[in-house]
Amino acid sequence: MSASATPTHRTASSRRRRTALARAAGLFGLLCAHAAFAAPQAPAEPALAAPSASAAAACTYVEWTRGVNYTLGTIVRFPPNGQFYKLVNVGTNGSDGTDPTISTWYWQPTTCDSGPAPGGFVVSEAQFNQMFPNRNPFYTYAGLLAALRSYPNFAKDGGDTVARQEAAAFLANVHHETGGLVHIREQNQANWDHYCQPAGSCGGKQYYGRGPIQLSWNYNYSAAGNALGLDLLNNPDWVATNAAISWQTALWYWMTQRGGASNTPHQAMVNLRAFGETIRAINGGIECNASGIGHQQMLNRVSNYRGFTAILGVPTGGNLEC
């Protein structure tokens, strides 16, 4: 799509052709940006609803301790992953000593402002708003700051210039995947049932693209959930209904996944100083060394990156294309 927040529409045959290419390339969880545009919400699948997180609210919490029976409404911080959970249902003895990452009937993820993101973030809220003037209110700056606590090395390594370049690269790719943070869910609803391997093994749950980087496929929801201490396999819609969790999944991919590349996007910016390699890790099978629409989409990401580095006052560096 273009660098603006307005999606470019394609023909049905073109959508089908690119979806088939994405599968053949074995992408690690992403469609091309055109296929990732959000659609009007379908009726919600039966699953636990994640709490709204338009901002990380201040709250009182306690450190979760094994074997303690908490009372209804208690918010705990789970030490193994640093995430917050609220007790929303109780049994005979309150929380019945349950683990909040396993007992999702008792517990739901929540957000809690426990202090600023480590060391601050190189993108101010004003700059964030400048980058995404038409963003969906779901994608909050506060939600992004809350998610940064899960990956404190994001936009921290390599000095200030590299940190700003990495933040610009991440947000440029996010802009492309979501039409400028406008879209939350994959737009092509015809694909919503397709992201399941082995086919037919997902029990009716849907793992279509959601969130800033359009997390897709059941195995990616499982892996991201395991890394974050969240049961995303059984509750995939948390990625579309909780801003902090949504941003966490995007950072999980950025910091830990390589797709078809040799480096994660984080490594590409810190070690290689190569924005083009972030594209390779995200959608290289479609956009790198391509022609036609794939090539144009790669150029659109580069355009976003140029604009965002200008906002942050740093040079782009080299190796912008792939």
Q: How far apart are CA 249 and CA 316, in angstroms?
A: 26
Q: Which of 125, 166, 177, 186 is catalytic?
A: 177
Which three-class secondary structure state does DSSP give residue 218?
helix
Q: How far apart are CA 87 and CA 106, in angstroms?
A: 6
Classify burial at 62, counting beta carbons within 10 Å of its beta carbon; exposed 0-12, middle 13-18, buried 19 or more.
exposed
Is 177 tagged catalytic?
Answer: yes
Q: How far apart are CA 285 and CA 162, in angstroms?
A: 26
- The verdict on whether omega for the bond into residue 198 sits within 30 degrees of 0, i.e. cis, is yes
Q: How far apart are CA 28 and CA 19, in angstroms?
A: 13
114 close to 148: Cβ distance less than 8 angstroms: no
Q: Which residues are catalytic?
A: 177
